[in-house]
Amino acid sequence: MILEGIGLSKRFPWGRSLTGVRAWVRALEGATLQVAEGETLALVGESGSGKTTAGRILAGIEVPTAGQVLFRGRHVAGSMGAAPRTGGASRRDYRLGVQMVFQESQASLNPRKTVGQTLDVALAARGMAPARRREAAARLLAEVGMEPVGTFLARFPHQLSGGQRQRVNVARALSTEPAVIIADEPVSALDLSVRAQILVLMERLQKQHRVAYLFISHDLAVVRSVAQRVAVMYLGRIVEEGRTEQVFATPLHPYTVALLSATPIPDPRRARLRSRIILPGDVPSPVSPPPGCPFHPRCPVAAEICGREFPPLLETGEGQKALCHFAGTLAPGASAPGRG
Amino acid sequence: MRSDGLSGAKVSGAQAAPTGEPLLEIRDLYTHIVTPRGVVRAVDGISLEVAQGGAVGLVGESGSGKSMTAFSILRLFPTAGARTISGSVRLSGRDLLRLSEEEMRRVRGGEVAMIFQDPATYLNPVLTVGRQVAEAYAMRSGWGEARRSAVRALATVGLPDPEAVYGRFPHELSGGMRQRAVIAMATVCGPSLLIADEPTTALDVTIQAQILELLARLRKELGTALLLITHDLGIVAETCEVVYVMYAGKIVESGPVGSVLVSPAHPYTQGLMAGALTIEEARPVVAVMEGTVPDLANLPSGCRFHPRCPKVMDRCALQPPPEFAVAEGQMAACWLCGESPA
């Protein structure tokens, strides 16, 4: 495993009462994630599921409240349980080895730096001599398909389209020759045709550089095509995990079944034949998650035990896991009893 | 399922027009925006119809002019300098472009209502949800009747405890509940046409499913026709009967959803469909189309898609293609689609 998060939890303070006792947003609760070398692991879920927090912890942007981050099997300093001086991965190896690409292509670029200057900073961080940086920046831009390179090196972010800016962000991430790129909704803000261009680019770069992706997305259709493995999150927890074909063909967790059922498919012939599961209500507040299984208030197959006891992790022989008392009982395509 | 509906509001305009006539009929509509960069030809000669109680999808990428088409129907423009130059927008036979401002005000929120992508920005944060829902109705009756209608509308859109929701402020509701409140606001007067501009784009997929089901139910129960503007082909496939595909200010293809999305004729639609990913199978990601949507202030000659078209011919750069009939009810504006203009 190139990058692992073990039992990651993150709580953010939320307000303060008169007695000084704070409430906590439980953004992430005991999530364990492993990214293998050169693979794409998709982290899917809706807003508030904790997928972005998980990504930011693995990227070293946030420090977990509990749990550990391991890079190339060694503790990363700064995360809990890390051995700061001995035995840990060097901060520098980790910083260069794990890069991030964000959804907001504009916000993640310095508006006052040209593309060339932005890449120069990244290459300098890697310790490259000034003389070699310009050539390296040009090579990176060519690699992400921004040609003529000379023109684009001198451009400012506002002079680029959304797709071009995202190419620059990918180029910057690549500049440190990372082993893992954590991409948080990298194509969600882009139009359909541009989205395909960026996905094709990311796939090509993965093959050429053997870089692994932690691909954070709410779009299951994109995930199906780009990821080898999928982890589904709900209210701070990973509720299902497995190889992409497994999870899409035989989802075990009722939430995964509902998510797939709610995702529109672009073929009208089959779209109309599907029966849909419409989950009632909203995702509960992560400040006061429900007792027992976090999904039980919206679950079509919830029973009495679900409100009382935290569900066990069921694991199939094929490595598919689900956090549910009744994993596998809600068949995909079935009409749920509790329609809202 | 609730059946109380919006019975207190005036009966949907669906019955008003003679049968067989489309509810909405747009002909040769041109809406241009004058900017310092030049004239942005956002809507450049489009024609479109919505049947009584029908569901029509208007699909396109950003910058295709699809939202500006909706604003042209309502004669409300978010940008200064936008103006409808020519064309007609007939609603139940009446040309909205010829109405006085006073008459138009009665149409908005009455016969035609619109909902937008981000419900938060269209709700006033310092007024209660109920007051905002009741307002359009109160313009036509008193506040007492308007309040009762608003509570009914809040119930119709599936908000639990509508009496309580009436007194809440927008920030006290979740995103999905806000979009329901906005839909209640739009439908309180029983419009015959609801224009929904990316109504679920800002919402999570399980909440999106709730809202799409609600829109389908309103259509069935109130006979409200739907003009759904979206970039999501899956939503169109599941919600609409007819689809119009827009590119750079023009309709490039239109027809029944079952034809256009299954056997697209225009290379742009073909590209969109070929690039469409689905949860049903792991398709290889292909970037069929290079480049981006052209600048509407600086359009290519001839067919506007020709610089990106994989099947481009010499003729395409010279002459803009007319619409050709390619199948029952299906039209495509492409020189590949035949010799006889529709």
Summarize pLDDT for A92-148 with one digit per residue, the tens: 899 999 999 999 889 999 999 999 999 999 999 989 999 999 999 999 999 999 989
Contact A46 B176 (CB under 8 A): no
Overall average pLDDT of the B203-231 stretch: 94
SS3 A281: coil
Whether chain B has a CB inside 8 Å of the CB on A77: the answer is no
Whether chain B has a CB inside 8 Å of the CB on A249: the answer is no
Contact B279 A191 (CB under 8 A): no
Give the chain A residue whose CA is nearest to the CA of B275: A196
Instruction: Collect all residues of chain B within an 8 Å Cβ-Cβ radius of residue A262.
Output: 205-206, 208-209
Distance to chain B for A334, nearest Cα, Å: 16
Give the chain A residue whose CA is nearest to the CA of B268: A193
Q: Tell me which residues of chain B, numbers 64 to 83, contact chain A at a CB-CB cutoff of 8 Å.
A: none
Written as one letter, the residue type at B304 is R
Beta strands in chain A (DSSP E): 3-14, 23-35, 40-44, 66-71, 74-75, 98-101, 180-184, 212-217, 229-234, 237-243, 313-315, 321-323
Whether chain A has a CB inside 8 Å of the CB on B55: the answer is no
Nearest Cβ partner for A193 among B236, B237, B289: B289
SS3 A153: helix
Distances (CA, A) of B324 to A311, B7, B254, B304, B321: 59, 44, 10, 16, 9
Whether chain B has a CB inside 8 Å of the CB on A224: the answer is yes
- pLDDT, residue B339, reads 64
How many CB pairs lie under 8 A apart between chains A and B? 137
pLDDT, tens only, B279-326: 999 888 888 788 888 999 999 999 999 999 999 999 999 999 999 999
Which residue, B88, B71, B89, is CA-closest to B80? B71
Instruction: Collect all residues of chain B within an 8 Å Cβ-Cβ radius of residue A203.
Output: 285
Nearest Cβ partner for B286 among A196, A226, A270: A196
Nearest Cβ partner for B176 among A163, A271, A282: A282
Per-residue exposure over A87-118, b if at least 16 CB sit within 10 Å of its own CB, e if not = ebbeeeebbbbbbbbbbebeebbeeeebbbeb
Contact B282 A263 (CB under 8 A): no
- pLDDT, residue A88, reads 64
SS3 A95: helix
Distance to chain A for B198, nearest Cα, Å: 13
Q: Is the pLDDT score of B10 beyond 50? A: no
Instruction: Collect all residues of chain B within an 8 Å Cβ-Cβ radius of residue A163.
Output: 292
How would you write the pLDDT of chain A (340 residues) with one tens digit per residue?
Answer: 999 999 999 999 887 777 766 788 999 999 999 999 999 999 999 988 999 999 999 999 999 999 999 999 998 866 555 445 445 668 889 999 999 999 988 999 999 999 999 999 999 998 999 999 999 999 999 999 998 999 999 999 999 999 999 999 999 999 999 999 999 999 998 888 889 999 999 999 999 999 999 999 999 999 999 999 999 999 999 999 999 999 999 999 999 999 999 999 999 998 888 888 999 988 888 888 999 999 999 999 999 999 999 999 999 989 999 999 999 998 876 544 443 3
Whether chain B has a CB inside 8 Å of the CB on A171: the answer is no
Q: What is the DSSP string of B99-143?
A: S-HHHHHHHBTTTEEEE-S-GGGGS-TTS-HHHHHHHHHHTTS-H
Q: Tell me which residues of chain A, numbers 274 to 333, contact chain B at a CB-CB cutoff of 8 Å.
A: 276, 278-279, 282-283
Contacts of A320 (CB under 8 A, 6+ apart): A240, A241, A242, A243, A246, A247, A250, A252
The pTM for the full model equals: 0.89
SS3 A98: strand
Distance, in Å, from the CA atom of A6 to the CA atom of B74, rounded to the nearest integer, reads: 55
Q: Are strands B242-247 and A3-14 parallel, antiparallel or unpaired?
A: unpaired
